[in-house]
Amino acid sequence: MRLILLGPPGAGKGTQAQRLVHRHGIVQLSTGEMLRAAVAAQTPIGLQAKDIMAAGQLVPDELVIGIISDRLDQPDMKNGFILDGFPRTVPQAEALDELLRHKHLKLDAVIELRVNESALLSRVETRVGEMRARGEEVRVDDTPEVLSKRLASYRSLTEPLIHYYSERRKLLTVDGMMTIEEVTREINRILAAIGAVEPRGAKAAKKADASKRAAKARKAAARSPGRVAKKAAKAAKAPKKAAKAARKAGKSASKAAKKSARRVAGAAKARRFGKPKKATKRVAKKVTKRRAKA
């Protein structure tokens, strides 16, 4: 699954991205996180980005496109990814389209978290408070002044992406003003609706169904081994799924065959030791009658 999370600072992109990572086993690609790591490690990219980020502006497109391009080539991308904070401009979105086309990858959806701007400042303040409580270093750009600049750049440079992806029929909008739990539920619901993920419980239901079918097949095999063996042979002609069925039926058939062999052996033993079964007695009577007539 390949997703983009779109929304202004404080919309909850990071929180929801982590929840999607946890649930679907995909990788979160946050350009903000990568850039902060580069700043902390004082890499050439970090040194270039440091002041721009502190001022609440966007770093040059080529820089983030380069970071994302390298990252998409890593082997951990095979299950999919969720882009958080990228793309942030139309040229970045076009570059991403090109990158994905080149790598033969398809984007499943762009999820826009829509929030009231008035709620963003208090959300960022909450985030700052939580980070302080955890003893984490607070972001230099999480101040009311820088936040207003980040919001301004979101409005002018990032918001046009809503139109960009809506035109390409990729946009799904979720009300980001709901609780974290409700937003997660809504995201998962729409992802299931577009077929990007299986609805919750579908996997468990499939498993239960399969084991029910297996139990039924075992019972049938015990009742009539011949029919099951025939079914297995027929299935063996069809590839893949049938091969599995044949294996399963083969197992059950051999069990049933063993059971019937035991029955036959028991009857033979009984005959040998003078304990004929009812059917044997009837045949013996008929022969005696015929002999008597003759």
Residue from 72, 141, 191, 228 touching ligand AMP (CB under 6 A): that is 141
Residue 127: CB atoms within 10 A of its CB come to 18
- Measured from the CB atom, is 151 or 221 closer to ligand AMP? 151
Work out which of 53, 115, 147, 246 binds ligand AMP, going by CB under 6 A: 53
Note whether 35 binds ligand AMP by CB under 6 A: yes
Find the catalytic residue in 71, 114, 139, 218: 139
Q: Is 247 annotated as catalytic?
A: no
Interaction mask 187-216, ligand AMP, x per CB under 6 A: ------------------------------
Is 88 annotated as catalytic? Answer: yes
Taking the complex as a whole, the smallest distance from the CB of residue 241 to ligand AMP amounts, in Å, to 45
115 binds ligand AMP (CB under 6 A): no
Residues paired with residue 4 on neighbouring β-strands, in sequence order: 83, 110
Return the closest-CA partner of residue 68 out of 30, 22, 41: 30
Whether 272 is catalytic is: no
Does residue 150 touch ligand AMP according to CB under 6 A?
yes
Whose CA is closest to 9, among 172, 160, 159? Answer: 159
d(CA 53, CA 202): 43
Whose Cβ is closer to ligand AMP: residue 33's or residue 220's?
A: 33
Pairing of strands 2-6, 81-84: parallel
Catalytic residue among 2, 19, 50, 127: 127
Query: Which residue, 154 or 231, has its beta carbon nearer to ligand AMP?
Result: 154
What is the rounded CA–CA span in Å between residue 258 and residue 165? 63
Closest by CA to 46, choosing from 36, 61, 56, is: 36
Report the distance separating Cα 214 and Cα 249, nearest Å.
9
* Helix axes of 44-54 and 61-72: crossing angle, nearest 10 degrees: 130
Q: How many Å apart are CA 6 and CA 14, to the nearest integer?
A: 10
13 part of the active site:
yes
Residues 6, 20, 29, 58: which binds ligand AMP (CB under 6 A)?
58
Among 26, 59, 111, 147, binds ligand AMP (CB under 6 A): 59
Tokens standing for residue 129: 């408070």
The C-alpha atoms of residue 129 and residue 83 are separated, in whole angstroms, by 26
Q: Known catalytic residues?
A: 13, 88, 127, 139, 150
Residue numbers at the binding site for ligand AMP (CB under 6 A)? 9, 31-32, 35, 52-53, 56-59, 64, 85-86, 88, 92, 141, 150
